[in-house]
Structure 1
Amino acid sequence: MKPYRHILLCLWLAVASTHATVTPDCADSCLLGTSGETPICEIWDSSSQSWSTDAFVTGPGAMHNLARDYTRWLHAWMMPAGGVTSTLFADPALDRVREYGGRRDSAIWTGTYLAAEALHFMATGSPDASRWMRETLGTLHRWWNIPGDPGYLARYAAPADSPQPILNLLPAEDPEVHRNVTYAGSTWHWRGNISRDQYQGVLLGYSLAYTATRSPALRETIRSDVVTFVEQLMSSDRREVALRLDGVTLSSTVRIPYAVFSEAEMPSGRPMLTLQTNPFEASGEGVLFFTPDAAELIRQLPGFGRFSSLPLPTQAIQLGAIFRIALQVTDGVPDYAARRQAIAEHYRQHVGEWLDIAADWENSNDCDQGYFGLNIGFMPLYSWIRLETDPAIKTRLQREVLRDALWAEVADHKNVFFAFIYASQAAAGDASRDLIAANAAQLARFPIAPNLAKGRDLRGIYPESEECPGISAVAVDVDERVPATFVWERHPWKLYDAGTPNLVYPGIDYLMAYWMGRYYGFIADDAPGTCLLWRPK
């Protein structure tokens, strides 16, 4: 064995000892084209024991290389201060940042990227995947803790002395932004007004990273954040709130079930709840609730004791997943035994109610409006089914919620992420090989990196919908869709978009679907025996 290969193998064994995965003979250890102490990161071919001299090709037939290329672009340009964003460049050279975008959604997509790297590591044993998993987890751990309230997550955070393009994500005049907060001896700015969807990507990433790693330190980081969050949800705090009910403002002390709070965002030091009863809508300042039945809150108000049930199926799915993840990360940990018992008992008492509500999930989208809500259901449902240990509950989730409710609505959408969730978690016999093959073929059509926000005009190419004028009657193929940060949460029928010059999306939609496909065996490695290594002088 050549000396440098021996050194790399030793480094790999040191990393692998703290993780649970395959043992590869060749796994990516650096980012394509980057420079280090040795000159450059290049493709090594383990079968020929030589550095590849072939041109680096991505796209159909080279899906593994496309994942490598998207990861390179992501880390070079689209993870300012560790959080995933889109990037608007100053010119077509794409080598100077003008501004970062997606400022309100960085938490969900950073968590999704963590999930992708966890799957990447479990599929290949890549030391590079281990590194990004560790670093991304560190970012999200800070975002859980910088706000200072149990379980309250920041949308994004960055050091106060960050470069100006990063600081522009956190402007002083923005009411969501909190500046000059001390955390771990440093000064930070952070974005609040968190929403439930942001938690879903983070929890998905935490759960898969916990499965991937055997590092006691990383597992404790995950465990501490998740248990703190779940215990806050279980506390059902009684709080004096400022309440705006159907336009009338009043004060009341109520028990707010399944909620997290932010002292920094409470008007006059108390949460503000805004409720509209017909049709039902709810929002809050300084509070975010995950209750699966909004009537639990409304019935506490004078004159509303007989208020009809308002079941919220997506939030029931979210709660089921949250509690199953908490049980996952505390399993077999003596120091958490009592806390785990309390979580397990709460889950046992309420899971039937949550499951009944979840089984009544219906698609409320109107044509092309609200498609992102499907992702808010699919992400936690994947975790809930994957982690559920009770066979009866698992079967109901697979059949009544996944197959008959969510998947039935999207089966012909060419949505690879949803399809791979369904195929990996469906009951035996429900997901066909043809379904997997068709969606793997769609993923192979994904645009090459960088994923530019190019214009699209498909009018006259795809048939227009009669029910929903202006959009396609059938799902557009993946390579022809309007790009996005996460294309799987965007509807697949858009026919026209002007595009945005020099705007680049991060590619986590490809990375998540690709590594999920690899992990579950839906996609074969089309670059076997190759890996990215530092090429010595």
Structure 2
Amino acid sequence: MARLQNLLLAATVALTVGPAATAVPAEAATVVDPFVLQVGATLPALQGKITALAAGPGGVVAAAHDKGVALYASGAWTSLSATPAHKVVWRGDDLVALTADGLLTIRDAAKGQGGADATKGGADRLPPGTDPATALLVGGDDLILVQGDRLYRKGPGGSWRPDRLPGQATAVARARSGAVAVATATAVFETTGRTWTQISPAVGTTHLAYDSKGRLWLAGATGLGLRDGATLKQYGPAEGLPMLGFTAIAPGADGDVWLGTAKGAVHFDGTTWEYRQGRRWLPDDTVTAVTVDGNANAYFGTATAAGVIEARRTTLAEKAAVYEQAIQARHKRTPYGFVEGIGLARPGDLTQYGQGASDNDGLWTGMYGAAEVFKYAATKDATAKANARKAFEALKFLGDVTQSGTNPAPKGFIARTILETTATDPNIKDNEQHDRDKQKGDAYWKILVPRWPKSADGKWFWKTDASSDELVGHYFLYALYYDLVATGTEKDEVAGVVTRLTDHLIDHDFSLTDHDGKPTRWGFFNPKELNGNPWRREERGLNSQTIITFLTIAEHVAKNPEKYAQAKAKLIEEDGYDLNTQQPKVTPGVGGGNQSDDEMAFMNYYHLLRYEQDAGLKATWARSLYDYWQQEQYELNPFFNFIAGVTLKDQVWTDAYGPFPLEMNGPWLRQSIDTLKRFPLNMIDWKQSNSQRLDIVNLGQHIRPDADPKKLGMLRGGTVLPVDERVVSHWNHDPYKLDQGGDGYGENDGTSYLLPYWMGRYHEFIAEK
């Protein structure tokens, strides 16, 4: 007891008042109002490469392409002309296209009355010397056409009226007020009549656009400019601009701007930059045209197809419902409902998909069940309760299925996953030779024959060699379910499952022991291995924290907790597991090592800190989490943030220098909400490429000596990229890795959103009207 007494003298901590099941509210829950969520989609095929787009009255969108003019409305394209077109603009309800034959006007196109009759009479003649392929065209009551150093105006039925420009024009734009701006090789000029006034010495400006507030955006080789009154503000990579090499520009609906590049699209509202690249957002990264309709939906012409990024007004709860619907429809496997990603027959096509066993069924399904527990606790929704119960039963079955059959395992052992015996026998692939080959490069790898035993009823193969990942998922759900859902005899049922599993670990010298009578590859928690085997250096801290958490949970739920309290005390007093737990993260640098370790550690902290009754130990666990979070706080991770936020509230560490508050500071709550808002609805595994960005700072070799720093990076502000600009399947990816993802042959489930969202709702970090 000496070490415990010393800890009590060395540290003090404020204990949470009330039962463990009680939510700990934030100082003031942040009410999240409805917001705009961007959702990318590819439009129906259009025969021709788009050269220009223009949003018109009533939300219709016109496209000029190398095979004609088309109109997009009600989810379909209608061809209006087969004459190749270069530019397209609106003049009221009329559509005007710049074609090789001249200026083509399509009457009443916006009213759906355009067509062959509307173009009857042919095209109007262009001014002498005009090249339709390079001329610039601006719509309005009087059209503006620019070629070289000439600007021409033309009203309905009128002739072209020329005006000389102060140089060779590279871009032109017109404001709602009637002001016109042109860019030349040397400067940008503006006129409200016939006199041109230089407003910027911006050299190399290639695109201009007036926004809805009358401000002028200037895009060029060196960056983006915004002229607001007499003030000109410049934006480059140092200010957050992700890409250069602009190919198109379009004002948004509320003072924002969209930019096209050869490597994706950029959106900027004056504060926040958004980079849209990859098939999650665009049909092709080479953007040829951009336009924005009155509802803020952005349409893109690309090298291969047309796309749209919808501005969908929604709420966090509505997003949660979308992920829930997808999970129920596609992501529950077997009658037990294991939740995991799916494989797709064709990239991005959700109509044909396949389900397969995962090595981490216990972890992923446990996290989904935890989300449903939090949802039930926050809302008392009966469906959430049923989903939580189903997840509990699924995890329980992973412990039941191993107890008999061809190769029964010791009582309490859990399977990684199960697979129907009607499927191809997985032992054909996972055979002894396969294990021996794996072992050549991984001395930890076990030779297990069979790796997939059969259940007693002959219905299931179950996979051996379960790891600490699965155990953490089991315990995380069991404890939550016990506290927040289970009542009466159901609590006894949960306690029975927890103690069965924990007794297995204690009875087998704190090891998860397989049907061969030997510990699994990653199932070591005993002092001989963690403190005595140099190979276990990286697992020492995390596995010490993990087994202490398991014993703490068992002590919390068991009717006779003494066994688990004594086992925990032994590991602390005799083997120093409390000291090991002070540093569970030993890999170098931010994002270093296996992000799965971070995920497990934070899930452990949640219960370890909420259940610990010893003030000294609680202070130790709290300080350990606080130090861990110092590295994780830049990852914009709401799951980690909410766990730290609720468990570190009011915690204090006292040492020789006095008390040190452990509560989290900084913008973590705002960042967490922003991540939930930006979390993409499209969970298809599309590649996200960010290594080409200009707003990235690569991690130095001294920060991540274990990896290639050219492949790792963060924003100049010090945080990882926003969640909608990288890949998230679970919270176990390295968020500093710049290029991630696949070719669209899979869809991840939405648990990675649902778990932090409902946790945040339950703990009152966030609220919705």
Tell me which residue corresponds to 1:137: 392
From 452, 473, 479, give the equivalent of 1:178: 452
Offset of 1:298 from its aligned partner? 6.0
Following the alignment from structure 1 to structure 2, what is the Cα–Cα distance between the partners of residues 83 and 308? 31
The equivalent residue for 1:452 is 684
Alignment of 1:476 with 2:720, yes or no, is yes
Given candidates 395, 398, 403, the residue that maps to 2:619 is 395
Following superposition, the deviation at residue 497 of structure 1 comes to 3.2
Partners of 2:538 and 2:586 within 8 A in 1 = no
Q: Does 1:259 align with 2:511?
A: yes
1:61 CA drift (Å): 4.8
Q: State whether residues 317 and 380 of structure 1, in contact with CA within 8 Å, keep that contact through their aligned partners in structure 2.
A: yes
Q: Hey, what does 1:509 align to over in structure 2?
A: 752
Once residues 364 and 384 of structure 1 are traced to their aligned partners in structure 2, the CA distance between those partners, rounded to angstroms, is 22
State the match for 2:580 in structure 1: 357
2:761 alignment partner AA? R
Name the residue aligned to 1:201: 473
Tell me: CA distance 1:437–1:311, structure 2 relative to 1, closer, same or farther (3 Å): closer
Alpha-carbon distance in structure 1 between the residues aligned to 2:458 and 2:311: 41
The separation in 1 between residues aligned to 2:338 and 2:479, in whole angstroms, is: 18
Change (3 A) 1:501 1:415: same
CA distance in 1, matches of 2:512, 2:429: 25
**DSSP 3-state at the match of 2:387:** helix
Please state how far the C-alpha of 1:350 moved relative to its aligned partner: 3.0
Paired residue secondary structure (1:469): helix
Q: Does structure 2 conserve the Cα–Cα contact (< 8 Å) formed by 1:395 and 1:427? A: no
Q: How does 1:8-47 map to 2 (within 5 A)?
A: none
2:632 corresponds in structure 1 to 410
Shift of 1:418: 1.2
1:181-330 correspondence runs (5 A): 181-182=455-456, 185=457, 187-236=459-508, 257-263=509-515, 266=516, 270-271=517-518, 284=520, 288-292=523-527, 294=529, 312-330=540-558
TM-score, length of structure 1 as denominator length: 0.70
| 1:293–1:309 Cα contact (<8 Å) kept | no
Question: Which digits, 9 at most, give the CA deviation of each residue in 1:395-434, with x for residues without a partner?
Answer: 22112x1112x11221212122111111111141512473
* Partner residue in 2 for 1:422: 644
In 1, Cα distance between the equivalents of 2:344 and 2:428?
A: 23
1:321–1:392 distance in 2 versus 1, CA, 3 Å: same
Q: Are residues 95 and 410 of structure 1, via their aligned partners in 2, closer, same or farther at CA, if it must alter by over 3 Å?
A: same
Q: Structure 2 residue aligned with 1:443, among 676, 679, 695?
A: 676
Aligned residues: 410
Please state how far the C-alpha of 1:498 moved relative to its aligned partner.
Answer: 5.5
> Which residue is 1:83 aligned to?
338
- RMSD over aligned Cα, in angstroms? 3.0
Q: Compute the displacement of 1:297 (Å).
A: 6.5
- Pick 1 or 2: higher relative contact order, CA cutoff 8 A, min separation 6: 1
Q: In the superposition, relative to structure 1, how do residues 322 and 442 fare at CA in structure 2: closer, same or farther (>3 Å)?
A: same
TM-score norm. by structure 2 comes to 0.50
Aligned residues of 2:333 and 2:339 also touching (Cα < 8 A): yes
Contact 2:545 2:604 in 1 (8 A): yes
Whether the aligned pair in 1 keeps the contact of 2:714 and 2:721 (CA below 8 Å) is: no
Is 1:150 the counterpart of 2:373 in the alignment?
A: no
What is the SS of the residue equivalent to 2:469? helix
1: distance between equivalents of 2:741 and 2:370? 32
Secondary structure, in 3 states, of the residue corresponding to 2:634? coil
SS of the residue 1:444 aligns to: helix
Query: Any idea what SS the aligned residue of 2:635 has?
Result: coil
Deviations 1:13-51 (A, max 9, x none): xxxxxxx999xxxxxxxxxxxxxxxxxxxxxxxxxxxxx
- Give a deviation string over 1:118-165, Cα, whole Å, max 9, x none: 11111111101101011111111110121122221111114434xxxx
Residue aligning to 1:36: none
- Structure number with higher helix proportion: 1
Q: Measure the CA separation in 2 of the matches of 1:186 and 1:113.
A: 28
Report the Cα distance in structure 2 between the residues aligned to 1:315 and 1:137, rounded to whole angstroms: 24
Partner SS, residue 454 of structure 1: strand
- Closer/same/farther in 2, CA of residues 518 and 476 from structure 1, 3 Å limit: same
User: C-alpha separation between the residues in 2 aligned to 1:427 and 1:375?
Assistant: 20
**Separation (CA, whole Å) in 2 of partners of 1:58 and 1:130:** 33
Alpha-carbon offset, residue 179 of structure 1: 4.4
Separation in structure 2 between the aligned mates of residue 360 and residue 21 of structure 1, nearest angstrom: 28
* Structure 1 match to 2:765: 522
SS in 1 for 2:371: helix
> SS state of the match for residue 180, structure 1?
coil
- The residue type equivalent to 2:571 in the other structure is H
Residue 462 (structure 1) aligns with: 696
Counterpart selection for 1:63 from 316, 325, 336 = 316
Distance change in 2, residues 1:402/1:297 (3 Å)? closer
Cα drift, residue 471 of structure 1: 1.4
* CA distance in structure 1 between the aligned counterparts of 2:729 and 2:464, rounded to whole angstroms: 20
Distance 1:94 1:115 in 2: 26
Match of 2:736 among 493, 505, 512: 493
Contact 1:371/1:490 (CA < 8 Å) preserved in 2?
Answer: yes
Partner of 1:15: none
Q: Is the 8 A contact 1:414 1:442 kept in 2?
A: yes
Which amino acid is the alignment partner of residue 524 of structure 2?
F
What CA distance in whole angstroms lies between the structure 1 residues aligned with 2:741 and 2:598?
A: 25
Please give the alpha-carbon distance, in whole angstroms, between the structure 2 residues aligned to 1:74 and 1:503.
14
CA distance in 1, matches of 2:499, 2:570: 18
The SS at the match of 1:456 is: strand
Code of the residue aligned with 2:491 in structure 1: it is R
Local SS of the residue matching 1:76: helix
Displacement of 1:309:
9.7
Q: Which runs of 5+ in 1 are unaligned?
A: 1-19, 23-56, 162-166, 237-256, 274-283, 300-306, 529-537
For 2:710, what is the secondary structure of its paired residue? coil
Q: Deviations over 1:80-117 (max 9, x none)?
A: 1121221112234412224537x212211111111111
Distance 1:395 1:297 in 2: 27
- The answer on 1:95 being equivalent to 2:328 is no
Report the Cα distance in structure 1 between the residues aligned to 2:677 and 2:728, rounded to whole angstroms: 17
